[in-house]
Amino acid sequence: MRPAGRERPRTYTLLGADGRPRAGTTPGTLGGTRCGRLYGRLDCPSALRAIARGGYTRNRVFFADEATAVAAGYRPCAVCLPREYAAWKIDREHTT
């Protein structure tokens, strides 16, 4: 047993801009899925429904911020980040 006040800090695994997992002491602010390579808010209704159905969790990833998610090649969720998704879609149409 550890003495009081000597507990190990909790660690979180987040994806970095290169798409590789990184351990840190700060929890992610965004969640996503490897399958669809998309990210969104942790309280996204669509993600929460998928998790409730028993799916999604095996491929769940977390990001420190939006810039890291985008750099790792993930796109914004159309449900919980509609403005970001619309901008991503316009950007994609102009680069394709």
**In angstroms, what CA-CA distances link 46 with 65, 89, 91?**
19, 19, 23
CA nearest neighbour of 56 among 69, 39, 74: 39
Beta strands (DSSP E) in 3-94 are 12-15, 21-24, 30-33, 38-41, 60-63, 75-76
Query: How confident is the model at residue 43, as a pLDDT?
Result: 95
pLDDT band at 5 (very low <50, low <70, confident <90, very high): low
Q: Where are the alpha helices (DSSP H) in the chain?
A: 45-52, 66-71, 82-95
Higher pLDDT, 33 or 4: 33
Query: How confident is the model at residue 96, as a pLDDT?
Result: 64
